[in-house]
Amino acid sequence: MIEEEIYLKTNNECARKILFEVEKIPYGETLTVAKLQEKASEFSIEDVLRIVTLFNKEHYLTVLDKVSYDDNDVLRDHKIKCLTEKGYKTLDLIRNDEIWNLIKSKIDNFDELSIFTIFDIANKIMNVKHNNLFDLPKDLLIQNNRW
C-alpha cells in the first residue's frame, strides 16, 4: 500500500467502528487485523487495513508490527495492541450516537470528508455543549483541542 493512499478517502463509519472494537481489546491481549475485520465485517478488508494503517501512523492506536500486504496480497498477522491516549480522547468525541448522527445529518458531504475533519467538528460540538452546560462567560470559554 502506497503511503499516500492511506490519506485518500476513508470510510468514516468504518473508522468509528475500528475505534470501538480496539477499545474492547482486554489489557495485555492483542487483536489481529484479520480478526478486527471479522468484527467489522460490514466493511472491506481494504477499508479496515487503510484505517488501521492511518490510525497507527497518526498515533490513535498501537500496532505491534507494521500493517501491510505481503507480495501475494495476503494479510499478514499484524497485531493491534490498544488505543493510545489520543485514540481514547478522540473516541470520546464521537462515542455518542447523538453527536455522530447530528454530524452525519447536517453535513451533506459526510462520506467525502476526512475522518480528521469529522473529529474536529465533533470537538467543536463538544466545546459548545460544555460551554452551554456551565454557562461560562466568554473569557472562560472552553476551547479544548484534543489532539
Which pLDDT score is estimated for 145?
A: 58
**Is residue 8 pLDDT above 90, yes or no?**
no
Tens digits of residue pLDDT in 13-22: 999 999 999 9
- Could you tell me if 36 and 94 are in contact, meaning their C-beta atoms sit under 8 angstroms apart? no
Phi, psi of 92 (to 5 degrees): -60, -30
Q: 10 CB contacts (<8 Å, ≥6 apart)? A: 47, 50, 51, 54, 114, 115
Tens digits of residue pLDDT in 96-113: 999 999 999 999 889 899
- Could you tell me if 83 and 105 are in contact, meaning their C-beta atoms sit under 8 angstroms apart? no
pTM: 0.81
Which pLDDT score is estimated for 134?
A: 74
Tens digits of residue pLDDT in 39-80: 999 999 889 989 998 999 999 999 986 545 554 444 556 889
**Is residue 142 pLDDT above 70, yes or no?**
no
| Mean model confidence pLDDT for the chain | 83
